[in-house]
Structure 1
Amino acid sequence: MRVALAVHPDSGQGAAARMAGTVAARLRTVVDRLDLITADSPERFRRRVAECRDSGLDALVVLGGDGAAHQAVQCCAGTDLALGLVPSGTGNDFARALGVPRDPVSALSSLVSALRHDHRRRVDLGRIDGGDSSVPHWFGTVLCTGFDAAVNARANSMPWPRGPHRYDLALVRELVSLRPRPVVVETEKERLTTQATLVAVGNTAFYGGGIPICPEAVWDDGAFDVTVVGPVSPLRLARILPRLRTGAHVRHPSVHTLRASRVRIEGPGEWPVFADGDPISALPTTVTCVPEALTVLGVTRESTV
């Protein structure tokens, strides 16, 4: 078996770089050839993966966080190239949803066992349709727009503080300027027109480091779970936010939930769209759930918050 190990050295504030040698050594005990890829830019990463895949790659192992997993999904979706995850980022939401152990050492042991016994499963992905490129863009966790995407965009632009506290500060700043906007969410079954605060389309349940924004979403049912937070004031949203950690927010009267295999969101053009925590585009956007689009190593049916 030929495997490539992609190391995202900045993930987890350097945690991935510190673990790279240990991960490579363990993988070499179960594979015939190990190629090392330093993922210092998305373009170089995809080019190196394509080169390895064209010469007979069987699996791609990613040592990093959700951003690293998102880039790997673009390389593996719709192919037989299997993806393995050793989470070492801040959020690790895709790994969490797939039941990958949160401890990277445990995750590595699970991955080595999966490689040894060829344990792999097919999982669904979200495909972002349209855009400027003929190449489809994929996501594994949640696509979001509105308040939560604005928080993510603001956090990405802030040089300080480092780590998760940057998101806390960005949340407070966005909460102050919160304004619901007219949004249309259209599925193959229904059309919802409302004043919305945020819209989240979940292929899996989690975003933001374990927040179950779409708590019923699972990766093998061929459908998205959609959470729409309607018109709420900053004070009311502040009261809803603590419920996010338990998934209880979906029972709030201002929250609508939908299930669909295809979703189109229309709304203010200045609302950013994020998927897997990465900026993608702006509204409008259309997404489709593609069953069994990705092969993943060592997946379990359990997910961990």
Structure 2
Amino acid sequence: MTQIGDSGPVAVLLNPSAGRGRHRDALPGVLERLRATGREVTVLPAGSVDEALASCRGAVASGVSALVAVGGDGTIHLGLQAVAGTGIPFGVVPAGTGNDFVVELGLPDEPVAAAAAVTRALDGGSIRKVDLGRLTDAGGNVRWFGAVLAAGFDAIVSERANRMRFPRGPRRYDVAIVAEMLRLRPRRYTMVLDGVEHQLDAVLVAVGNTARYGGGMRITPDADPTDGLLDVVVGGRLGRVAFARIKPHVYQGTHVGHPLVTTYRAATVELRAEGIVSYVDGERAFPLPVTATSAPGALTLLA
């Protein structure tokens, strides 16, 4: 753990609708705690995803002493795009439903407790460095991720759910899962791990900087965001019955013991397959082919 001495302004990316608004009443108290540090606190304009991202990047470019994201995994993901690799300290106050990245970093998953922890870190000037994943598409576009890159069944389900107009809310994902289970089939992947090529058929491919995604599923259970490596989990030629049986084990991370599940570890992971759009931290990213690279210490975390 190292120290920061800057007492300059703090920018806050705030999403009051995170977690379907269940922590909305706590948000004024969060801002009050941050202001109690004596620093200027600015809530960034965030009327849309594009505006939120531009606001975060503008704040970082202006030289704020820290950026604090208050919201769910999507809000945190947006903040990462602005602070990754800059050295600007990043604070996290989770107010979503999954909070996967926060839990894996050992941070408080309740807003008031998290705000108190961020405030102590600001007052004490304490930070620690953790790794991020850096995702690049064929055109050179970059997306940073803190938790997991999905490039198999779960990404396909998310893509279907995002196209659906009915039903609304979480039920869309339930319907999308059923629909894609009926269509389940292994797909041919080319995977290159630190320059070594693998040809494989798989229904599930996940690349983790941390262990969890999807609200508690430990898909890459041994991933460590301080080791400079990415963990890869591949579910091979699993049929519908075997896949349905293995899914519940993901919450404990014991699915990796199945004979058709293979694990790898690499600093750089290249993935190629037809008809797959990747998702990172639950957000839509790039169509394959993509390259994921571990970026050691790319995140400066207030902790």
Deviations 1:34-78 (A, max 9, x none): 001142222211222233233330111111111111110000001
The reply to whether residue 55 of structure 1 matches residue 30 of structure 2 is no
How many corresponding residue pairs? 296
Which one is further off, 211-220 or 189-198? 189-198
What's the CA shift for 1:216?
0.2
Counterpart-to-counterpart distance in 1, 2:293 and 2:11: 29
Counterpart-to-counterpart distance in 2, 1:133 and 1:20: 37
Name the SS of the counterpart of 1:21 in structure 2: helix
> TM-score, normalised on structure 1?
0.91
* Partner residue in 2 for 1:195: 201
> Are the aligned partners of 1:8 and 1:16 in contact in 2 as well (CA < 8 Å)?
no
* Partner residue in 2 for 1:223: 229
What's the CA shift for 1:161?
5.1
Which amino acid is 1:116 matched to?
A: D
Name the SS of the counterpart of 2:64 in structure 1: coil
Counterpart-to-counterpart distance in 2, 1:132 and 1:195: 26
Name the SS of the counterpart of 1:43 in structure 2: helix
Which amino acid is 1:186 matched to?
A: V
* Residue of structure 2 aligned with 1:288, choices 286, 293, 296: 293
> TM-score, normalised on structure 2?
0.92
* Partner residue in 2 for 1:156: 162
| Identical counterparts, % of pairs | 42
Relative to structure 1, is the Cα distance of residues 93 and 160 closer, same or farther in structure 2, using a 3 angstrom cutoff? Answer: farther
Counterpart-to-counterpart distance in 2, 1:54 and 1:193: 43
> Are the aligned partners of 2:23 and 2:111 in contact in 1 as well (CA < 8 Å)?
no
CA RMSD of aligned residues (A): 1.7
The reply to whether residue 74 of structure 1 matches residue 96 of structure 2 is no
Deviations 1:217-270 (A, max 9, x none): 0110000000001011111100110110110100001101000000011111x1
What's the CA shift for 1:192?
2.3
The reply to whether residue 120 of structure 1 matches residue 99 of structure 2 is no
Which amino acid is 1:289 matched to?
A: S
Counterpart-to-counterpart distance in 2, 1:137 and 1:189: 21
> Are the aligned partners of 2:137 and 2:286 in contact in 1 as well (CA < 8 Å)?
no
Which amino acid is 1:83 matched to?
A: F
What's the CA shift for 1:15?
3.4
* Partner residue in 2 for 1:25: 32
Name the SS of the counterpart of 2:296 in structure 1: strand
> Are the aligned partners of 1:122 and 1:292 in contact in 2 as well (CA < 8 Å)?
yes
* Residue of structure 2 aligned with 1:265, choices 244, 267, 271: 271
* Residue of structure 1 aligned with 2:41, choices 26, 34, 44: 34
Relative to structure 1, is the Cα distance of residues 273 and 54 closer, same or farther in structure 2, using a 3 angstrom cutoff? Answer: closer
Counterpart-to-counterpart distance in 1, 2:196 and 2:138: 24
* Partner residue in 2 for 1:83: 90
Unaligned stretches of 5+ residues in structure 1: 299-305
* Partner residue in 2 for 1:302: none
Relative to structure 1, is the Cα distance of residues 159 and 21 closer, same or farther in structure 2, using a 3 angstrom cutoff? Answer: farther
* Partner residue in 2 for 1:179: 185
* Partner residue in 2 for 1:303: none
